[in-house]
Amino acid sequence: MRHLPTILLMLSLPAGAIAYTLTVQVMTATLPGHSNDVLILLVALFVAGLVMLPFLIPFFDRKAKQDLVAYRSEHPGASADPAAPVPDEKEST
C-alpha cells in the first residue's frame, strides 16, 4: 500500500486521456451541426481534469505530509495544533 499513491499518479494520465476522448465523442455526437471546437475543447479538458483529480489527490497528500514532517523537524517550536496561540517574541524579552 506504500506505493499506491504513485501507482494512482501514473494511472491518472490514461484515465484523463480516456475521459477526454469519450467527452469529445459524446459532444460531437450530440452537437452534429454546431461544431464549436473551442467549446468542445474546453468541456473535454474540464471533464478530463475532473476524472484525473481523484487519482492525483493521494500523491499530493503524501507529499504534503512529508513536507509537514520536514518543516516540524526544522522548526521544533512549530505546534501540532494550528489553532494554538503563537508566542509573541516581544513578550519573551
CA torsion sign for 22, 27, 32, 33 is: negative
C-alpha cell of 19?
475521459
What is the average per-residue pLDDT within 48-69? 92
Q: In the predicted model, what is the mean pLDDT of the chain?
A: 84
Cβ-based neighbours of 80, under 8 Å, separated by 6 or more: 72
pLDDT at 85 over 70: no
Least confident of 11-15, 39-43, 85-89: 85-89
C-alpha cell of 31?
452537437
Residue 88 pLDDT class (50, 70, 90 cuts)? low
Q: Which residue has the higher pLDDT, 1 or 12?
A: 12
The label of the residue with cell 484515465 reads 15
